[in-house]
Amino acid sequence: MGDKLKRYAINTIKTLILPVLVIALFAVLTGGRSLSKRMLLVTARQSVMPIIISMALVGNLTLGMWDFSAGGVVLSAAIIGGNLMKLTNTGTAGLVVICLVIGVVMTTLTGFLNNRLRVPTIVVTVGLVLIYETIPRLIYPGGVTITAKYTFLASSPYCFIILAVMFVFFYLLYNKTAYGHNLRALGGSREIARSAGLKASRIIQTGFSISGIFLGIGAVLHISTNGQLLTVSALGSVPLIFEPMMGVFLAFFLSRFCNLTIALVVGTFTMTALTNGLVALGLPATMRSITSGLFLLILLCISGNQARIIKWREDRKRARMLDAKHNT
Amino acid sequence: MLTVKKISKAFGPTRALIDVDMEIRRGEIRGLIGENGSGKSTLASIIAGAQFADSGSFELKGKPYAPRNMVGAQNHGVSMIIQEMGTIPGITVAANIFTGRLEEFTRFGFINMKAINRRAAELLQEIGAGDIHPETLINRLNFEERKIVEIARAMVANPDLLIVDETTTALAQRGRELLYRLIRRLHEENKSVLFISHDLHELMSICDTITVLRDGIVIDTLEKEEISVDRMRSLMVGRELSGSYFRSDYDGSYSDEVVLEAKRVTSGILEEFNLELHKGEILGVGGLSDCGMHELGRVLFGIDKPITGSVTLKKNNVQVKDPHVATKNNMAYVSKERDREAIILNASIKENVVLPSHRQLRKVLGLITRRSETNLTNKQIETLRIKCRNGKQICNELSGGNKQKVVFAKWLGKESDILILDCPTRGIDVGVKAAMYKLMTELKAQGKSIVMISEELPELIGMSDRILLLKNGRLQAELRRSPDISEKQIIQYII
Interchain contact, A197 vs B88, CB within 8 Å: no
Tell me if A239 is assigned to some domain. yes
Determine the pLDDT at residue B42.
87
Each residue's pLDDT tens digit, A60-97:
999 999 999 999 999 999 999 999 999 999 999 999 99
Does residue A53 carry a pLDDT above 90?
Answer: yes
Task: Kindly indicate the confidence band of residue B85, based on its pLDDT and cuts at 50, 70 and 90.
Answer: low
Cα B468 to Cα A122, A210, B452, B493, distances in angstroms: 48, 58, 10, 10
Residues of chain B found within 8 Å of residue A193, distances taken between Cβ atoms = 88, 99-100
Tell me how close the Cα of A129 comes to any Cα of chain B, in angstroms.
28
The helix (run of H) or strand (run of E) holding residue A113 is: helix A91-117
Tell me if B247 is assigned to some domain. no
Cα A172 to Cα A66, A125, A268, distances in angstroms: 23, 27, 20
Report the C-alpha gap between B489 and A129 in whole angstroms: 66
Cα A315 to Cα B169, B307, B473, distances in angstroms: 23, 6, 16
Residues of chain B found within 8 Å of residue A185, distances taken between Cβ atoms = 88, 91, 95, 99
Q: Who wins on pLDDT, A302 or B217?
A: B217
Chain A residue with Cα closest to B154: A196
Report the C-alpha gap between A106 and A74 in whole angstroms: 10
Specify whether the CB–CB gap between A233 and A133 falls below 8 A.
yes
Q: Is B10 helix (H, G, I), strand (E, B) or coil?
A: strand
Tell me how close the Cα of B106 comes to any Cα of chain A, in angstroms.
7
Determine the pLDDT at residue B494.
84
Query: Which of B50, B88, B271 shows the shortest C-beta gap to A193?
Result: B88
Tell me if A255 is assigned to some domain. yes
Q: Please give the tally of structural domains in chain A.
A: 1
Query: Which of A185, A319, A322 shows the shortest C-beta gap to B99?
Result: A185
Considering the domain architecture, whether residues B156 and B262 belong to the same structural domain is answered as no
The sheet carrying B270-278 orders its strands as B270-278, B258-267, B308-313, B318-319
- Residue ranges in B131-244 assigned as alpha helix (H): 143-155, 173-188, 200-206, 229-237
Does residue A190 carry a pLDDT above 90?
Answer: no
pLDDT (mean) for A264-273: 95
Interchain contact, B91 vs A185, CB within 8 Å: yes
Determine the pLDDT at residue A194.
83
- Residues 6 or more apart whose Cβ sits within 8 Å of residue A12: A257, A258
Considering the domain architecture, whether residues B445 and B339 belong to the same structural domain is answered as yes
Q: Which of B237, B271, B298 is the last residue of a domain?
A: B237
Interchain contact, A198 vs B99, CB within 8 Å: yes
Determine the pLDDT at residue B241.
38
Q: Which residues of A42-69 are buried (b: 16+ CB within 10 A; e: fewer)?
A: ebbbbbbbbbbbbbbbbbbbbbebbbbb
Query: Which of B90, B91, B111 shows the shortest C-beta gap to A176?
Result: B111
Report the C-alpha gap between B360 and B351 in whole angstroms: 15
Range of the domain at A118: 49-259
Report the C-alpha gap between B95 and B90 in whole angstroms: 10
Task: Kindly indicate the confidence band of residue B240, based on its pLDDT and cuts at 50, 70 and 90.
Answer: very low
Chains A, B: CB pairs < 8 Å? 78
Considering the domain architecture, whether residues B198 and B262 belong to the same structural domain is answered as no
Which domain CATH number covers B384?
A: 3.40.50.300
Cα A233 to Cα A176, A240, B310, distances in angstroms: 39, 13, 57
- Of the residues B52, B74, B83, B102, the best mutation for testing chain A's interface (the one with the most A CB atoms within 10 Å of its CB) is B102
Considering the domain architecture, whether residues B210 and B286 belong to the same structural domain is answered as no
Tell me if A107 is assigned to some domain. yes
Report the C-alpha gap between B306 and A244 in whole angstroms: 41
Each residue's pLDDT tens digit, B43-68:
998 999 888 899 999 999 999 999 88
Each residue's pLDDT tens digit, B100-144:
888 889 988 899 999 999 999 999 999 989 999 999 999 888 877
Task: Kindly indicate the confidence band of residue B243, based on its pLDDT and cuts at 50, 70 and 90.
Answer: very low
Quote the Cα angle for B344-B346-B347, to 5°. Answer: 70
DSSP string, B420-486: EEESTTTT--HHHHHHHHHHHHHHHHTT-EEEEEES-HHHHHHH-SEEEEEETTEEEEEEE--TT--
Q: Which of B237, B266, B297 is the last residue of a domain?
A: B237
Determine the pLDDT at residue B429.
62
Beta bridge mates, B126:
none
Determine the pLDDT at residue B244.
53
Determine the pLDDT at residue A299.
79
Report the C-alpha gap between B21 and B290 in whole angstroms: 29
Tell me if A302 is assigned to some domain. no
Report the C-alpha gap between B136 and B134 in whole angstroms: 6
- What ipTM does the predicted assembly reach? 0.80
Considering the domain architecture, whether residues B59 and B123 belong to the same structural domain is answered as yes
Q: Please give the tally of structural domains in chain B.
A: 2
Determine the pLDDT at residue A117.
93
Please state which of the ranges A134-138, A255-259, B277-281, B364-368 shows the lowest mean pLDDT: B364-368
Report the C-alpha gap between A319 and B306 in whole angstroms: 9
Tell me if A321 is assigned to some domain. no
Tell me how close the Cα of B264 comes to any Cα of chain A, in angstroms.
9
Closest CA to A259 of A1, A12, A88: A12
Range of the domain at B368: 258-494
Tell me how close the Cα of B90 comes to any Cα of chain A, in angstroms.
6
Closest CA to A201 of A119, A125, A117, A115: A115
Please give the share of chain A, as a percent, with pLDDT higher than 90.
Answer: 72
Considering the domain architecture, whether residues B458 and B488 belong to the same structural domain is answered as yes
Task: Kindly indicate the confidence band of residue B198, based on its pLDDT and cuts at 50, 70 and 90.
Answer: confident
Specify whether the CB–CB gap between A315 and B307 falls below 8 A.
yes
Residue B241: DSSP 8-state: P
- Of the residues A3, A182, A195, A323, the best mutation for testing chain B's interface (the one with the most B CB atoms within 10 Å of its CB) is A195
Phi, psi for residue B343 in degrees, rounded to 5: -140, 145
pLDDT (mean) for B333-360: 90
Determine the pLDDT at residue B194.
95
Interchain contact, A318 vs B89, CB within 8 Å: no
pLDDT (mean) for A173-189: 93
Cα B63 to Cα A299, B1, B2, B110, B190, distances in angstroms: 59, 10, 9, 37, 18
Report the C-alpha gap between A32 and A245 in whole angstroms: 29
Residues of chain B found within 8 Å of residue A315, distances taken between Cβ atoms = 307
Residues of chain B found within 8 Å of residue A176, distances taken between Cβ atoms = 110-111, 113
Q: Who wins on pLDDT, A33 or A116?
A: A116
- Residues 6 or more apart whose Cβ sits within 8 Å of residue A184: A62, B90, B91, B95
Cα B436 to Cα B287, B425, B429, distances in angstroms: 21, 7, 11
Task: Kindly indicate the confidence band of residue B247, based on its pLDDT and cuts at 50, 70 and 90.
Answer: confident
Determine the pLDDT at residue A143.
96
CB atoms within 10 A of CB B358: 12
Does residue B237 carry a pLDDT above 80?
Answer: no
- What is the total residue count of chain B? 495
Does residue B239 carry a pLDDT above 60?
Answer: no
Q: Which of B184, B204, B237 is the last residue of a domain?
A: B237
Report the C-alpha gap between A209 and A111 in whole angstroms: 7
DSSP string, B253-314: ---S-EEEEEEEEEETTEEEEEEEEETT-EEEEE--TTSSHHHHHHHHTTSSPPSEEEEEET
Query: Which of A178, A192, A319 shows the shortest C-beta gap to B307?
Result: A319
Report the C-alpha gap between A270 and A264 in whole angstroms: 10
Tell me if A6 is assigned to some domain. no
Chain A residue with Cα closest to B139: A188
Considering the domain architecture, whether residues B159 and B263 belong to the same structural domain is answered as no
- Residues 6 or more apart whose Cβ sits within 8 Å of residue B116: B94, B95, B98, B102, B105, B134
Tell me if A327 is assigned to some domain. no
CA B321 distance to own-chain centroid: 26
Considering the domain architecture, whether residues B272 and B377 belong to the same structural domain is answered as yes
The helix (run of H) or strand (run of E) holding residue A140 is: none
Report the C-alpha gap between B194 and A205 in whole angstroms: 38
The sheet carrying B209-214 orders its strands as B78-81, B161-165, B192-196, B29-33, B209-214, B217-223
Tell me if A124 is assigned to some domain. yes
Each residue's pLDDT tens digit, B358-415:
888 888 888 989 999 999 999 999 988 888 889 999 998 887 778 888 999 999 888 8
Considering the domain architecture, whether residues B232 and B313 belong to the same structural domain is answered as no
pLDDT (mean) for B263-279: 94
Tell me: cis bond preceding B356? Omega within 30 of 0 counts. Answer: no
Chain B residue with Cα closest to A62: B90
Determine the pLDDT at residue B132.
94
Mean pLDDT for all residues in chain B: 88
Amino acid at site A291: T
Q: Who wins on pLDDT, B472 or A217?
A: A217
Phi, psi for residue B22 in degrees, rounded to 5: -160, 145
Q: Measured in Å, how far apart are chain A's first and last C-alpha atoms? A: 45
